[in-house]
Structure 1
Amino acid sequence: MNAGIWILLVLLAVAGVIGRRLHRYPGGWKYAFAPEHDAARRDLGTARDTLRDLKRSAQKELAGARASAEAAATAHRRRVREAEEHLAYLREPGRGGFRAEIDGLSLYEHVLAVNTDDWRGDLPLHDISVRSDHSPTAGHVYLVAPNGRQHLLTYPVADIGEEYVRRFVVDVHNAVSDAKAFQQERASLIRQAGADLRRIRSDTGERAEAELRLGEVTARQGNDIRIPRARQDLDAAQDRWHALTGHRPH
């Protein structure tokens, strides 16, 4: 950057400072800069600063109280929503999370989804059985549905290795065990989740405390005479400046 540009930037900065000073203290150069009017400028500036600082402090306090009340309300709603979702899941668990898959079979937390040429549907894990055997050329998976219907799926070794088929069947066995345990505990879990939801809904202590704090701050600020008094003091200082210069400052 050459010297000319630096000089231009300095001049612009100086012009900005001067313009702001003339705007804050209207009436001409001497009222804005002359030493004999220092006291008048200080009188007006102090009144402005006092009102500004009081308003900023009050706004900051009120904003903090509002933010706390909103955060407490949001946190309570989130806890209620999570408890509702957990209870809804226990009542209607659906498929649950995905676990593993093999051609034609997808294992989820609560169901085994079957998609073959002869049948499509979800088999509830807690009501099925599964086994496998293997020949030199293929792996065979046998499924028994809750209604007793049997399904046979064959996987040529050339397409899917025997080890992969065995591992999938082991995964299904383990998922069946987990699903049966879940079903045995489900009624108890639903009762506990319902009790937890009622407790969380009624646990509004933090929210109420934050709302009370907001109400206290709002009421106290509404009765605080410092800002109205500071505004009156600024009006008086502006009147004095107007009487001195013939111009009323903002």
Structure 2
Amino acid sequence: MVWLIVAVVVGSGIYLVWRRHRYPGGWAFAFSRAYESERLGLDAARGSAREVVRRAARAESAALAGVTSADAAFEAHLHRLEQRLAGLRRPGSGARLGSLGELVLFERVVMVNSAVGSRSVELAGLDVRFEAGQQVHSIYLTDATGRVHRAKFSLQAPADSDQEYFDEVTVGDFAVLIQNAVADENVAVARRPRQIKKTEKELGEAREDTRARDAARDRLRETRQRNRHDPQRKSAESELETAQRAWEGLTGRVPPR
């Protein structure tokens, strides 16, 4: 109860101070019904002025959001093109397509993990040959420089053996998988210069095409100019000033806006 009484007293005090500030000049002018019409007139003028200001702020905020959105879309478009161009210039290994024994196949390279180390062999221009044997099956990889690597795959053995074994069909199928990946990469390599040139052109055009950004900025500039010269705003400001002067003439005090 004590806290409730304190809260009521504090709240009432704050309300009285706010009321006296809002309607300066004395207790009667702030609270008496004799001046209710004057207070209502002042409040109406204040409300009109605030509404015009809020409406202008909303319009400007929307126009500013349009600028932000246009800038973000412009930068995102450039980023996509830059990423595409970087991917064409430095395509990397690509997605992993499969592995068998010491070979790991990717879209653009085949990794050879032998006893002497690992190396990456580009698929473009790679010659792939499968050879079945009595003890081992082999996949021969001849790169564009003429260097040859032979991947060996031991034949199928009993299931309880610890050694890894491969049957002819499995090794042959993997050789075909490499050959098909080579064919795809050869086509991609042949197309890549044209794709790079096309993407470079698109990127250049995108950097110069600022129409959407310029239009958004024009809308923001026009909105701000329209707000500054809005006849309703001027009228509302004039009415508020008239109401303030009337209150000052009545009380000798200038009320806040």
1:96 maps to amino acid = G
Q: 1:68 corresponds to which residue?
A: 66
> CA distance change for structure 1 residues 165 and 240 in 2, over 3 Å: closer, same or farther?
farther
Pick one of 146, 149, 152 that aligns with 1:151: 149
CA distance in 2, matches of 1:174, 1:25: 87
Kindly tell me the number of residue pairs found equivalent between the two proteins.
247
CA distance in 1, matches of 2:164, 2:249: 97
Q: How does 1:22-171 map to 2 (within 5 A)?
A: 22-101=20-99, 104-130=102-128, 141-154=139-152, 158=162, 162=166, 166=171, 169-171=175-177
**Structure 1: 5+ residue stretches without partners:** none
CA distance in 2, matches of 1:161, 1:124: 27
Contact in 2 for aligned 1:139/1:165 (Cα 8 Å): no
1:213 matches 2:211 = no
CA positional deviation for 1:194:
2.7
CA positional deviation for 1:123:
1.3
CA positional deviation for 1:56:
1.0
CA distance in 1, matches of 2:19, 2:132: 93
1:177 matches 2:175 = no
1:79 maps to amino acid = H
Q: 1:231 corresponds to which residue?
A: 237
1:37 maps to amino acid = Y
Report the RMSD for the aligned CA atoms in angstroms: 3.7
> CA distance change for structure 1 residues 97 and 36 in 2, over 3 Å: closer, same or farther?
farther
CA distance in 2, matches of 1:135, 1:75: 60
Secondary structure of 2:195 counterpart: helix
CA distance in 2, matches of 1:160, 1:18: 91
> CA distance change for structure 1 residues 240 and 130 in 2, over 3 Å: closer, same or farther?
same
Percent sequence identity over aligned pairs: 29
CA distance in 2, matches of 1:9, 1:134: 97
**Structure 2: 5+ residue stretches without partners:** 157-161
> CA distance change for structure 1 residues 162 and 56 in 2, over 3 Å: closer, same or farther?
farther
CA distance in 1, matches of 2:17, 2:175: 82
Residues 177-235 of structure 1, C-alpha deviation per residue, up to 9 Å, x if partnerless?
22111012122222322332233334333222222222222222233354355334334
Secondary structure of 1:84 counterpart: helix
1:123 maps to amino acid = V
CA positional deviation for 1:49:
1.1
Secondary structure of 2:115 counterpart: coil
Largest Rg, 1 or 2: 2
Q: 2:159 corresponds to which residue?
A: none
CA distance in 2, matches of 1:145, 1:17: 88
CA positional deviation for 1:41:
0.9
Report which stretch shifted further, 137-146 or 195-204: 137-146
TM-score if structure 1 supplies the norm length?
0.76
